[in-house]
Amino acid sequence: MFPKWALYFAAYALYNAYLHPLRAYPGPKLLAACALPRILNRLKGTDFAYVHSLHERYGDVVRVGPNELSFISSKAWKDIYGHATPGSPVLVKDPNAYGKPPAYRAGLFSAPDASHAHQRRVFAPAFSERALVQQTPLLQAYAAQLIQILTSSSFPSNTPVNLIQAYNHATFDIMADLAFSARLDLLRGDPAHRPWVAGIFDALKLGGIVSTLRFYFPGLVALLKLLLSRRMKQRRADHDRFAAELVDRRLCRGEGGEGGEGREGREGGEARGKRRDIWSLAIASSSDGSAMNLEQMHANAATFMIAGTETTATLLAGVTFFLLGHGSAMARLVQEVRGAFAATDEMSLQRLAQLRYLNACLEEALRLYPPVPQGMPRRTPSAGCVVAGESVPGDVTIFLTHWAAYRSARNFALPNDFIPERWLTGPDADARFAHDDKSVLQPFSVGPRNCLGKSLAYHEMRLLLANMVWSFDIELCEESRNWAHQKQWFLWEKPALMVRLRPVVRT
């Protein structure tokens, strides 16, 4: 006699494989029957490559679990993540993947749609083009500080430097100042917050593991959390605590933020003293009845200090690595940037946005190395819906997988090669890429829950990368030749990116 649990599992697997509403979708029968291969790959940090291999074999839409579909067609973006249209409701975030914190403490990332829309309206003015241009002096000051610190670290001994650490410190310093008028001084070597930044990946890895467990074993999350290492749980608690402290200190200074931390002595102090930081909008909202409560502010601070830092630093590291491995691309970028500016203080956000090859390099790096490579799960409505021409039943988890879509020969010629020229248009267009489906590249997502900080991220990446290639000749150290071979739990597990920097001598 078979034990009852074995009979139940066999019946469950047979139903999923041959009777489930998704039975007609292509994919391995084992994955249709049970999610074990996905679970193992997600826990090992290799799910992005595994799902890509499935799409290479089965096509644009693949059944990647008993109740999961992955898409890689550009048509799927609007259907899965887009705004509501008559007869097509907005697909909600899958609660099994993201959890459901109480509404009173849910920030932008996890709030229900109505609360998310309200919170987004509060913060949106800070990310408008006009508002970001007004922040130019602050951004330029931190870019100059990055170059100064890297120069002193590597010259005259030509000591290798770790760009992962440098980019992380720059983006954290920038976001803390932009959002809270707070001075972390990570670039200057202040040790107070360095353990926080160093532990961010552990916090994200914990989040990725818990998300996997929550999705596939929702009843066991509390038990499984107990089995996770104390170090990983402490890292997550540290991140939430540091972010909350930034909010609390900022609230003590009131709406205008006067008396910010050490603002008088910083570069660009006069311009900074007159500017409004992002949190002034959250504080001002209390006067018109649209206030966020303290728990929501804390949750949003934790989100901002990851989404506005780690992802930008990740892409900067990625584009630097790819350029160092492709000498002709680096030479073309150096020529464009050094030819456009006689000094780094000429690098306005508007002028940088007009550098076509600089933008092409960033787009190509986002394609090959998206900071968030996996899909963001949505749940179909109970009545079902149509996605990329496919009729999908109700209550199914669906997503577009960034890595698989961006590395697919169905969407891009030479999909695994770093070729920024594919993004050039007009007389510089390369005919090899005339049929690329460039609209599939949406690393910041689309629709009502797309990344609020998209414009800030582009401005920051352009400014910091342009400063780097204007100021230094950069050489990749041998120990980092295989740097891009990484695992991923929500974000990439990045090793040190070691380079040698030679300051450019100008007469």
Structural domains of the chain, ranges and CATH numbers in brackets:
95-255+275-372+417-503 (1.10.630.10)
Query: Averaged over 100-116, what is the pLDDT?
Result: 78
pLDDT at residue number 269: 47
Q: Say yes or no to pLDDT of 7 above 80.
A: yes
Whether 259 has a pLDDT exceeding 80, the answer reads no
Considering the chain, what is the average pLDDT of its residues?
90
Residues 6+ apart with CB under 8 A from 60: 71, 72, 73, 388, 410
What are the start-end ranges of the E strands in 2-155?
61-65, 68-71, 92-93
pLDDT at 2: 63
pLDDT, mean of residues 205-223: 81
The pLDDT tens digits for 454-494 are 999 999 999 999 999 999 999 999 999 999 999 999 899 99
Which CA distances in Å does 441 have to 56, 63, 253, 390, 463?
Answer: 18, 22, 41, 21, 22
What mean pLDDT is predicted for residues 408-417? 98
Instruction: Quote the CA–CA distance of 361 and 329 in Å, as a whole number.
Output: 8
DSSP string, 131-186: HHHHTHHHHHHHHHHHHHHHHHHHTTTT--EEHHHHHHHHHHHHHHHHHH-----T
Min mean pLDDT across 173-187, 261-275, 402-416 is at 261-275
User: How many other CB atoms are there within 10 angstroms of residue 399's CB atom?
Assistant: 22
Coil, helix or strand for 122? helix
Which amino acid type is present at position 266?
R
**pLDDT for residue 208:** 84
What phi, psi does 504 have (nearest 5°)?
-75, 125
Is the sign of the CA dihedral 27, 29, 32, 38 positive or negative?
negative
- Kind and range of the H or E element at 501? strand 498-503
* pLDDT at 432 (0 to 100): 97
* Whole-angstrom distance, CA of residue 22 vs CA of residue 502: 57
HSE-up of 90 (CA within 13 Å, CB side)? 15
Q: What is the share, in percent, of the chain residues with pLDDT greater than 90?
A: 70
pLDDT of residue 506: 84
pLDDT band at 260 (very low <50, low <70, confident <90, very high): low
Mean pLDDT across 41-63: 97
- Region 48-63 average pLDDT: 98
**Of 118-122, 257-261, 425-429, where does the model show the most confidence?**
425-429
106 vs 111: CA distance, rounded Å: 5
At residue 98, the pLDDT reads 82
Please give the structure tokens belonging to residue 454.
Answer: 């998209």
477 is in an annotated binding site: no
pLDDT at 267 over 70: no
Q: What is the reported pLDDT for 25?
A: 98
| 387-409 residue pLDDT tens | 999 999 999 999 999 999 999 99
